Amino acid sequence: MGMLAIVISLALLMYFAYRGVTVLLLAPVMGLLAVVLSGDGSFLLPIYTSTFMTALSGYVLQFLPIFLLGSLFGQLMADSGAANTLARWIVQSLGERRAIVSVVVACSLLTYGGVSLFVVAFALYPVAVSLFKAANVPKRLIPATIALGAFTFTMTALPGTPSIQNAIPIPYFGTNVFAAPGLGLIAACFMFAGGLWWLQRRAAQARAKGEGFGEHPEHEEQAQPEQPASHGRWSVMPVPLALLPLLLVVGINALFTYVVFPSVDFSFLGERFANMDPQKVVGLWSLIIALAVACLALVLLRLGRWTDLKESVNKGIFGFMLPLFNTASEVGYGAVIASLAGFAIIRDAVLNVSPHNPLISEAIAMNILAGITGSSSGGLSIALQTLGADYLAMANAAGISPELLHRVAVMAAGGMDTLPHCGAIITLLAICKLNHRQSYRDIATVTILVPLPALVLVITLGTLFGSF
């Protein structure tokens, strides 16, 4: 009955999430429904206050600065004109005939530099429209093109990427965002090449059939008009200055990760922070410093040229709250499910999938939970909250590096997360004014069918040669 309660709860969570109900309401309600159905109804309120809220608040406490600074950085990149400058520079460099490549490269550069994928989608959509129309490539391929550049290799595989997904395993495994860099680069190249091959093939098929950009209402197809140089996100900014904040995010992160913090003796923290393990937090500290410096640099670079700096800062700060609490609510839901007796059966079954190679078990668990929640960060957080310690112990026993465990976890969470009920996919389609029937097949191919073989490749190479 306990397992049935969990299955019913998860099925309803997926259904209502696809129907657009906010996870802020769904997570506690579906978690408590599972409690009632499992026969623990008498503990309903204690489980809500002591299990759900404790897990939620713990996640917020741990990752609030990453969400906050990431959201602020993305907003400043957009409103300073840096994001638009870089996008148009890449397009001009590669040419209109390479419309698909131009959009993928522009998206990947911005997301790898720390710009929120939603900011990237909004910034690149009008550019993509004008490019695809000029190259006579079907508009229905725009969402998949943006998704390949923003939702795949720059989110999960490239070493040093400041995505929240790449930061979540740090406190569980004592790693950093550069974990298994060689394997990450191999996976990133695989995803980039595979996704690009598919999109180019689909464009060629459409061209052979005589299908062009397509018939769409004229007002939807026009890119954003050019605005005066002082007008926020459409302002003109020199390319080197636009690139500088992105380089600062990656460069400062690497500097503190590999040079500054390894040379610091943290023994002085023992008296005041006895329960803190510096090894499990320095990766987060490096990312926090890098994002903070990049935000400050953006403000100073455009000092005196901001349309309304206060509005941009406030919008960036307020923008972090919903993504953070959505993910934290999913973590709370996972903690409630993990507290039920039926979960022990599920946990043991997952852990015993491949007892001698926890990478396989970890990949399956992350994919399943990311698919159920429709969120890579949510699924990853739930899995590590409930199974992270088990996987680390299994990896240590098998002689597997925590860095390899980190990279496989992040890549696996970026596999099945983009099922049709995924909030990011629904938002992307809304931005592009398209629907699932028109574009989801190509989105699923580049965000699920291409990343999964890349994950298998990393697990295989990691098992044979270890982390590198």
pLDDT in tens, 393-408: 999 999 999 999 999 9
pLDDT at 421: 76
Range among 86-90, 136-140, 234-238 rated most confident: 136-140
Look at residue 222 and tell me whether its pLDDT is greater than 50: no
Cα separation of 392 and 383, whole Å? 12
- Token pair listed for 455: 């994950």
Predicted local confidence at residue 228, as pLDDT: 38
What's the mean per-residue pLDDT of the chain? 88
Percent of the chain residues topping a pLDDT of 90? 52
Residue 88: is its pLDDT beyond 70?
Answer: yes
Work out the pLDDT band at 172, boundaries 50, 70, 90: very high
Given a cut of 50, whether residue 286 has pLDDT beyond it is yes
More confident call, 323 vs 438: 438
Q: 329 with 365: CB under 8 angstroms?
A: no
Identify the band that residue 158 occupies on the pLDDT scale cut at 50, 70 and 90: very high
219 pLDDT higher than 50: no
pLDDT at 12 over 70: yes
Does residue 386 register a pLDDT over 90?
no
424-462 pLDDT per residue, tens: 888 888 888 888 889 999 999 999 999 999 999 999 999
Looking at residue 127, its pLDDT comes to 84
CB 256 within 8 Å of CB 286? yes
**How remote is the C-alpha of 43 from its chain's centroid?**
35
Range among 266-270, 363-367, 432-436 rated most confident: 363-367
Q: Given this model, what pLDDT does residue 236 score?
A: 67
Q: How confident is the model at residue 176 (pLDDT cuts 50, 70, 90)?
A: very high
178 pLDDT more than 90? yes
Whole-number Å distance between alpha carbons of 327 and 55 = 11
| CA nearest to 117, candidates 331, 377, 421 | 377
Q: Say yes or no to pLDDT of 242 above 60.
A: yes
21 vs 112, which has greater pLDDT? 112
Mean pLDDT, range 124-138, rounded to an integer: 88
Highest mean pLDDT of the ranges 99-108, 313-322, 340-349, 415-424: 99-108
Q: How much is the pLDDT for 326?
A: 83
State the pLDDT confidence band at 218, using cuts at 50, 70 and 90.
very low
**pLDDT range class, residue 267, cuts 50, 70, 90:** confident
What is the three-state SS of 303-342?
CCCCCCHHHHHHHHHHHCHHHHHHHHHHHHHHHHHHCCHH
CB contact at 8 A, 374 and 327: no
What pLDDT score does 41 carry?
82
The pLDDT-based confidence of 226 (bands split at 50, 70, 90) is very low
The yes-or-no verdict on residue 79 having pLDDT over 60 is yes
Predicted local confidence at residue 131, as pLDDT: 87
Give the whole-angstrom CA distance, residue 86 versus residue 149.
14
